[in-house]
Amino acid sequence: MKPSLVAVDWGTSSLRAARIAADGTVLEERASSRGILTVAAGGFPQVLQDTCGDRLAGDSLCLVSGMAGSRQGWREAPYVACPAGFAEVAAQLTWIEPGRIALVPGQCCETRGVPDVMRGEEVQVFGALDLLGKRDAILVLPGTHSKRVHVEDRRIVAFTTFMTGEVYALLRQHSILARTLPADEPPLDEAAFTRGVLHAREAGGLLQAAFSARTLALFERMAQAALASYLSGLVIGEELRAGAPSEEPLVLVGSTALTARYALALRTLGQEARALGPEAGWRGLHALARTLEQA
């Protein structure tokens, strides 16, 4: 029997690990708050040992994705340039212990004369392709820095980062809109959200569209409780309007709450989508491990 894989998603603010059987079954999951920002230089081996050392004692392979491979992490795993698929990434792992523990590199691409990067999302993309049995897809991974990823023939050929979640939080908490918006995050008001999505499509950019959250409140034409949903629709709508329509459903990968919100925005814009959870990342690391075995 093949040894199981220890898959690790080591991000800025959290550390998650899973033991995965040779057939892809997730046998066990662990999570801790030991994100890379909490780990001093040199402290990474011990934190990994503390989290899942019992599982590493055998001859398990351990693949670590996410910000642990960044300059501020365990060791810098240089970005792999797009186009890149399973084979290119498997060939460019940064090995901490040869054959045992490796950091999965992020990817970089160049669009309109500027670089773009991702680190961690690529394994979710690979996992989604594996789960769906697809060779070609357009994927959207919503979040603080959303990614829109184009895959052709199982290789990531291009992607774009949008500062959607971060700009929403900035407008929500630090802008003039903070004075009008409710302090807590009320449940999604679907009508206000879709109105925001549609207004973002018509308006001349977010700088202009965002001010409408203020004026609608000023003239009492939208209830205060609905304004956060409206602003969320504006910001997500601004992200999604940049993407060309696709005949194939887009693939959303992320938390249920966020992918449901994006799916609603996409439907409002006439675009079908299907959603997968972030556990696609485990499947992506498993697929990478299989690629290594076959290499």
Is the CB of 94 or the CB of 175 nearer to a copy of itself?
175
| In contact, 106 and 84? CB cutoff 8 Å | no
Gap between the Cα atoms of 92 and 134, Å rounded: 23
CB of 226 to a copy of itself, least distance (A): 14
- In the complex, the smallest distance separating the C-beta of residue 261 from a copy of itself, rounded to whole angstroms, is 16
Given the complex with a copy of itself, which of 27 and 218 has the nearer CB atom? Answer: 218
Dihedrals phi, psi of 219, to nearest 5 degrees: -95, 10
Please state the closest distance from residue 78 (CB atom) to a copy of itself, in A. Answer: 11
Least distance between a copy of itself and beta carbon 48 (Å): 25
Torsion angles phi and psi, residue 286, rounded to 5: -65, -45
Query: What are the beta bridge partners of residue 102?
Result: 63, 95
CA distances from 185 to 180, 208, 212, 226, 227 (A): 13, 23, 19, 10, 10
Distance CA 188, CA 199 (A): 17
- DSSP strand E in the chain: where? 5-10, 15-20, 26-32, 61-65, 80-81, 84-85, 94-97, 101-103, 107-111, 114-118, 137-141, 146-152, 155-162, 250-253, 273-276
**Residue 111 belongs to what H/E stretch?**
strand 107-111
Count of C-beta atoms within a 10 Å radius of residue 246: 14
Residue closer to a copy of itself, measured from CB, 98 or 219: 219
**Residues contributing to the site for a copy of itself (CB under 8 A):** 112-117, 145-146, 160-164, 166-167, 170-171, 174-176, 199, 202-208, 210-212, 215-216, 218-219, 221, 235, 238-239, 241-243
User: From the CB of 199, what's the least distance to a copy of itself, in Å?
Assistant: 7
The distance of closest approach from Cβ of residue 207 to a copy of itself in the complex, given in angstroms and rounded to an integer, is 4
| Residue whose CB is less far from a copy of itself, 22 or 170 | 170
Of 140, 108, 79, 135, the C-alpha closest to 276 is 140
**Residue 153 or 179 with smaller CB distance to a copy of itself:** 179
Minimum CB–partner distance for residue 91 and a copy of itself (Å): 22
> CB-wise, 4 or 146, nearer to a copy of itself?
146
**Could you tell me the two tokens for 162?**
């949008």
DSSP tally for the chain: helices H, then strands E: 10, 15
* Nearer Cβ to a copy of itself (27/37): 37
Nearer to a copy of itself, 127 or 142 (CB): 142
To a copy of itself, the closest distance from the beta carbon of 183 in angstroms equals 17
Q: Are 63 and 104 in contact (CB under 8 A)?
A: yes
Alpha-carbon span 104 to 183, nearest angstrom: 39
